Amino acid sequence: MEYTIDELSRKSGLSVDTIRYYQAIGLLPRPRRIGRRALYADSHLERLKEIRAGARAGLPLKVMAAMLKARGSLGPELELYAALSKPRANPRFTARQIARELGVRPELVELAERLGLTYGEPTSGGRMRYSRADLRAARSAKKIFSYGFPVSKLFALAVRHDRAVRATVDQAIELFDRYVRRPKTTNGREDLAAVARAFSELFPAVSSLVAYHFQRVLVQRALSRLKQSAPQATYRLARRTAYQVYAYQI
């Protein structure tokens, strides 16, 4: 069966604008066209149902797009993500509200969204909403900006960091799939409870290790640069501060 976009909207419970947005970001395949008419199939309706299920589980749109592009379906990953998801406080801030809370131009937050540097929760309308944890992270970003760094330079650095992190994370996920998920798969069916338990134990351990490593490298290399280029008094003060703040004996 085929549908016009208005009919697909009624069937799926999503607005026409949302359907077009999903299509624009690669979540939904393009319709068949007869002249100027766009016709959607049952497969489009099923895909929209899958996207809505992913959104309810808290799966980010970008992650869904990547998974659908690679495998054509969210499949067991959606079930696993739902199993791992814990109840969270409802996101309450739009990008403009975040900007107002920070006292910055809305365009700055919207630019961070376009660059893929924000991690809000998608609404059914395709817009992002943010939690208080996101607001705290944004305040940290504002503090960095307040020291006079050029916006373009910081965003460029953030994008490079984001790409490097994603590449590392993808490799880590491959290791998880190979050494944790696959051994817990029998006759093509995953033991979702066992995988979720392993993930819930590994996630905080890995997160803590990564945060510790980044902080350690940042402090050590910054102090090394100061030792080479700054007055000794400045270096000694920075070294003492690092020890007091991070309890590092360097």
pLDDT tens readout for residues 14-52? 899 989 988 888 888 889 999 889 999 999 999 998 888
pLDDT of residue 246: 65
Burial 63-93 (b: 16+ CB within 10 A, else e): ebbebbeeeeebebbbbbbbebeeeeeebeb
How large is the average pLDDT for residues 236-243?
85
Backbone angles phi, psi at 215, to 5 degrees: -60, -45
Bridge partners of 37, per DSSP, are 34
Cα atoms in the 13 Å half-sphere on the side-chain side of 171 = 5
Cα atoms in the 13 Å half-sphere on the side-chain side of 94 = 8
> Does position 124 have pLDDT exceeding 80, yes or no?
no
Residue 250: pLDDT band by 50, 70, 90 thresholds? very low
> With a threshold of 0.85, does the pTM exceed it?
no
User: Chain-centre distance of CA 87, in angstroms?
Assistant: 18
Contact 182, 139 (CB under 8 A): no
DSSP characters over 112-123: HHHTT----EEP
Helix axes 132-145, 151-176, angle to 10 degrees: 130
> Does position 128 have pLDDT exceeding 80, yes or no?
yes
Contact 144, 154 (CB under 8 A): yes
Q: For residue 44, with 0-12 CB atoms within 10 Å meaning exposed, 13-18 middle and 19 or more buried, which class applies?
A: buried
CATH 3.40.50.10860 for domain 2-84, yes or no, is: no
How large is the average pLDDT for residues 189-205?
79
> Does position 85 have pLDDT exceeding 70, yes or no?
no
> Does position 75 have pLDDT exceeding 70, yes or no?
no
For the record, the structure tokens of 125 come out as: 């309308």
Domain residue spans of the chain:
2-84, 207-250
> Does position 110 have pLDDT exceeding 80, yes or no?
yes
pLDDT of residue 4: 93
Residue 79: pLDDT band by 50, 70, 90 thresholds? low
How large is the average pLDDT for residues 126-149?
89
Residue whose pair of structure tokens reads 């996920």 in the numeric block: 173
Beta-sheet strands, E only, within the chain: 2-3, 32-34, 37-41, 121-122, 128-129, 185-186, 189-190
What is the rounded distance in angstroms from the CA atom of residue 201 to the CA atom of residue 216?
Answer: 23
Residue 71: pLDDT band by 50, 70, 90 thresholds? low
